[in-house]
Structures are given as structure tokens and as C-alpha cells.
Structure 1
Amino acid sequence: MVTIRDVALKAKTSIATVSRVINNKPGFSEETKQKVQQAMKELDYETNEIARSLITNKTNTIGVIVPNIASMLTHDLLNGIENLSQSRKYSIIVCYTYSNHERTMEYLKTLKEKRVDGIIFTSENLTDKNIEYIKKINIPIVLLSTFSEKYKLPFVKVDDYQASYAAVEYLIGKGHKNIGMLSGDPNDKIAGEPRIKGYKDALKKHHLFSNEEHIVVGNNFSFEDGRTNLVTLLEKFPEMTAIFSASDEMAAGAIATAHEKKINIPEELSIIGYDNILVSQMVYPPLTTIEQPLYDMGYTAAEMLFQQIDEKELINKEVYLPFKIIERESVKVMDSL
């Protein structure tokens, strides 16, 4: 195996100088740098990250904990994290929890054992047990598309309440008065409760009737939730002309069921989604939706994490990125306007 000593002999310089070049530390000329890099290339030398981590106390690795690796939303968040991490020469360990709190704790312990430099935690609630363990191991952390009501931790997300409020106001602005909602778990403090509240408050502001029967909840904002729960919502609210779906995946499921039942979208039923993931452009008709800037959210969370890693100081920063309405073809303007 080629060692740093072999590189030093080949470049005719000291081991210390080779180490400085490898770790991008000052104390060498451009000519020396080129000699060292050429020697590394000719010898096919690869740096030993484990050995380097013992010296620098860094592994150049971060952990990302996600509830669902197959989700399009997760894919876009990870793209933002990955692009910045790659530019920083960092590797990523992605841990998929299935939204299971025990599995989350197991992964936190695994990431500690792997000596990651920081953790990005996405899209679900942290338990008290999780938080206490994170404090104990003293690893920098940033929450992404989630937050903690009880503990002050840095996070990046969209204001779910305001975004949902805007979605319903958009439907009202198009002349809709009978508006139903497809929601995730109402006990979910991250995306369930605030999106339902935004829906209700928008209707209340415009003096429109709101009834708990007009909200049908699913388990996890999934395509199958949308497929199944559209039927239930139509039965409970037959006069409904529009739906606010709390995720694009649920909206896609609802559109699939509508096609099966020969319900024309948007002529007979308008739908607005939430997220602006790729599926919103793939369904027919293309889905009008609330855009979360998912890539930017992931990138920003990575920036905040690297700030903590570089400065060796925990930060308490709350970042809300702007949402916007993406108009496509799934919402009809009512004739009464």
C-alpha cells in the first residue's frame, strides 16, 4: 500500500509538507504543491480518511435522517444537501427511519459511532429521548422541513400555516365556496395541524362554512391516502367543487381516483396540491400547487450545519423560506365570477 512517506520520497520533500498539501494547510509553494500532487497521481495514492480524522477530529461525513427515502420530497431535499456537501468534499450517510422512533434512536447511535461531523434531521418529530441523546453526544444538528416546539434547535422550513392559508384563499379567489381538504395526521405538529388550521382560518376569514366532515385525514400524505380518501370526502361533501390537498402525492392519488370515477378535473372538481414535486407536472391535468423550495431548503440546511462544524459552535437559527403558488391546469375559475 502506498503511504504518505512514499509520496514524500517521490516528490523529494518532507512528510510534513505532503500532509500540509493534502490537508490544504499553508506553508508550501505552488511548485511544491504541483510536485506533491503529481507524485500522488503517479503512485495512485489515496488519502486515508480514517487516519486523517484522528488528526483533524473530522470525518468529512454528515448524517441525514429521513422518514421515507422513496419520497419525491425527500429526493429534492437530498439534492440540495448533496450538492453543497460535495462541493465541501463531504460524504453523506442517509438513514431511513420509516417514521419509527426506535429506529431513529438506533440511527442516532450509529451516526455517533461513525463519528459524523453533523446531522440533518428531516420531516418528522424528534422525541424528548432523541433530543436528550443529541445533547449528550454534542453533535451539530439542523432540522429540515420540521422544527421542535419544546427545544430551541436551528431549522429550515416553509411556514405551513401561511402556505395552506394561501392555497385556500387561491381557491376562494377563483370563485370556489365549497372547499374540502385531504390532510395527513392532524396530530402531526409539523405538517398536519398547521395545514389544517390554515385551511380553516382562510374559510373563516371569508365567512365560508367549515365543517370537520369536510376534512378527511390520512396516515402519511401518500398517494394511496389520496386515492382512498377522495371517495370518503365526496360521500361526506357531495356539493364540494374544490379540494386543498396537503401534499402533491395525495393530490395525484385523488386525481387517479377521479379519472376512474369519470369525474373531470378541473371542470367538475378543482384540486390544488402542496410541495411542487415532480409528480405535480406528471399528472393530468398538471397540478396547480404550493411550491416548497425543496432544493433550496436542503442546501440552506447544509449551509447552516457546515457553519456549526466550521465555527465549532452551536447556532440557534430559524429560517423560513418563501413559498409560492405554481399555476397549472387543475383549478377552474367558477362561472359566478
Structure 2
Amino acid sequence: MTIKEIARLAEVSTSTVSRVLNDSGYVKHEVRERVEKIIDDTGYLPSDTAKDLKKKNTKLIGIIIPKLSSRTIGLVADGITKVLDENGYSSILANTGLDFKKEIEFIKIFKQKRVDGIIFVATNIAEEHIKLLKKMKIPTVFIGQDSSSYDFSCVVHDDYGATVEMTNYLLNKGHRKIGFIGVDEIDRAVGYQRRRGYEAALKEHGIDVDRNLISIGNFEISSVDASMRKLMKENPTAIFAVTDNLAVGAINYLLKNGYRVPEDISVVGEGDSGIAEIYNPGLTTIKYQYLESGEESARVLMRILKTDKSEKKIMNYRLVERESARKI
């Protein structure tokens, strides 16, 4: 698709299409809408350079991350750039701030920049992502969410298996009333798979899932107090939070309200973020391979650029036992 073809379909001049694309000069509202609709329908995106030349490799990779402030995302990004550097590639880092519209916008920008591939650190995968990426035909690797059913490569953590193991850890310590602090299941990995793992472990031990012992909030530590007020009405002996941040929020709530951890109630998390080791008491948690997942995603992308074959990689994890949980 070229500007001339867009102009022909819209029944306007090429200069009008150019003004719409560059948002410069006057264009009647109805004409602008007609041109923009054709551009959107055809998936046309102008290249910054060499519009009429045969595309060549740019040795440039686009990286989409949900937020810069996360330590774990920083480790993933470090792993990605390390392997890209080793293979002679540069990168453009796009921080979406957990904004879906920005994710879509950055994919389009990466197309304009003619990146050779995209590594997408995803909190969820929507149909719009898949539709756009397939239209763009840019090799893409997702990190953290399973995109294999869409025929896209991915590097994922074993969220389900890790959560089963941590729940079994508490059950083996004698806990039967385990409060669960989760997040919205739109995040298939942290929200859905971790809750599924918790419930599966309970059922394997012949314990019915008590909905009153489950509270779904968000990733912000400020959301934990409301969850804890609900859960403590059920007198749990342990709290399992799906992230370390939420687990620390739970401990803060307990200490403020006169409880001792782990003497009165045990608390565990997932992620082994920096705070897990230095917090008092030290937090028992799951350590995921964040740095290594970034490295592996870049290696997968390097292979895709050569073979065009999709891959799915599941990373390892380990349970890190510290002082926040005890046997009863």
C-alpha cells in the first residue's frame, strides 16, 4: 500500500493524504475522517525513511514494558538488552504505564521505525494486540503471558506450578485456613493462573475452596487493607498474596493491628522482589527468573528472525524460605 493508493481510495490528492499523515495544513473534517478510515482499514503506516526502497534489516528491536518503576521489569529489560547487545542489536524502550492504548500506539510507532522485532512484556493479551501484530507482520515475543495459542512466541513463568508448591508448603505446615489475596484475572498469569494453583492445591488435600478466604484487589499496596479486613473476619492462620508487594502490605496491616508475624499468622508472597529479603520478618516467597526470562526472550527472537518458527519457553522457579511462615 502506498500514499498514491490511499489517495485513490479516498478520492483525494496525495498531498491531502500527506497532510493527514503529518497532521499539518488544513483538511476538511469529513475528508480527514475518510482518509483516516482507509489508513486504518488497510493497516498502512508510513516509514520514517526509505519509503520506496526495499526493506532492509535495521538491527533495531522494540521493547514494550508496563512500567519503569518495577524492579522485576528492570531485571527483564536488563536481560533483554544484554543478549541484544551480544548480537549487535540496539533497542527502543517503550513504557506504557499500564495503558492499553499506549501499547497499541507503540506497536504502530515500532512499525514506522522499521524494527526487526518486538519483545512485549505483557500484563494481558487482547485481541487488538494480536490483530494488529499479525497485520504488521513484525516478529514478536511475549514475556509473562502465554501467547502460543495465537501462534506467537512467548517466554512464561510457571505461575500455576509455583503457586501449587507454595500452597502445599503452607498446608504441610498445618495451615488449613489460608487467606488468598489475588488480582484481576484479566492478568492471566498473576490473576488467573496463581489463583488456579491455590485452589488446585487445596482440592488435592481434600479442602473445599472457601470464597470468603479469597479477596481480589489490584497490584497497589494501598489496596491490601481492604482485602485484609475481609479475610481476617474468617480467622485465617496464613495469608498467601500473589505478589511480594501485596504480602508486605498484609504484614503491615497485621502489625498495625497488634498481630505478630509469623507467631500469630503466617504470610507468604511470590516474586522475590528486593523487599522480600530485607523486610523484617524476611518474606517466604517464590523466586522467578526475571533476568533470565529477558535473556531467553531475546534469544528466542534472534532464532525467529532466522527461522520464522514460533517457540514457547517455560522458566524455572524456586521456593525461598525465610521467616514469615511457621508450622502450627
Aligning the two structures, in what range does the TM-score lie when normalised by the shorter sequence?
0.7 to 0.9
Matched, 1:174 2:173: yes
C-alpha deviation, 1:198, in angstroms? 0.9
**Secondary structure class of the residue paired with 1:253:** helix
Task: Report matched runs for 1:101-116 at 5 Å.
Answer: 101-116=100-115
Cα deviation per residue 1:197-253 (whole Å; 9 max; x = unaligned)?
Answer: 11111111112232111110112x232233442233213x2x201111111111121
207-216 vs 54-63, greater mean Cα deviation: 54-63
Task: Report matched runs for 1:1-337 at 5 Å.
Answer: 57-148=56-147, 150-219=149-218, 221-235=219-233, 237=234, 239-309=235-305, 311=306, 313-334=307-328
The one-letter amino acid of 1:138's match is: K
8 A contact 1:125–1:148 mirrored in 2: no
Which ranges of structure 2 fall in alignment gaps of 5 or more residues? 1-48
Q: Report the TM-score, using the length of structure 2 for normalisation.
A: 0.80
* Separation in 2, partners of 1:330, 1:255: 9
* Separation in 2, partners of 1:129, 1:196: 26
* Separation in 2, partners of 1:268, 1:324: 26
**Secondary structure class of the residue paired with 1:192:** helix
Which ranges of structure 1 fall in alignment gaps of 5 or more residues? 1-49
Q: 1:228 to 1:69 in 2, by over 3 A?
A: farther
* Separation in 1, partners of 2:185, 2:54: 48
**Secondary structure class of the residue paired with 2:270:** strand
C-alpha deviation, 1:56, in angstroms? 8.5
8 A contact 1:125–1:147 mirrored in 2: no
* Separation in 1, partners of 2:166, 2:176: 13
C-alpha deviation, 1:74, in angstroms? 0.8
Cα deviation per residue 1:125-165 (whole Å; 9 max; x = unaligned)?
Answer: 22222212211221111110112364121111112111111
The one-letter amino acid of 2:144's match is: S
Q: Report the TM-score, using the length of structure 1 for normalisation.
A: 0.78
The one-letter amino acid of 2:311's match is: K
* Separation in 2, partners of 1:138, 1:149: 16
8 A contact 1:67–1:99 mirrored in 2: yes
Aligned residues: 278
Cα deviation per residue 1:39-71 (whole Å; 9 max; x = unaligned)?
Answer: xxxxxxxxxxx89xx899222221111222211
RMSD (Å), alpha carbons: 2.0
Question: Identical aligned pairs, as a percentage?
Answer: 31
8 A contact 1:81–1:302 mirrored in 2: yes
CA radius of gyration, larger in: 1
**Secondary structure class of the residue paired with 2:269:** strand
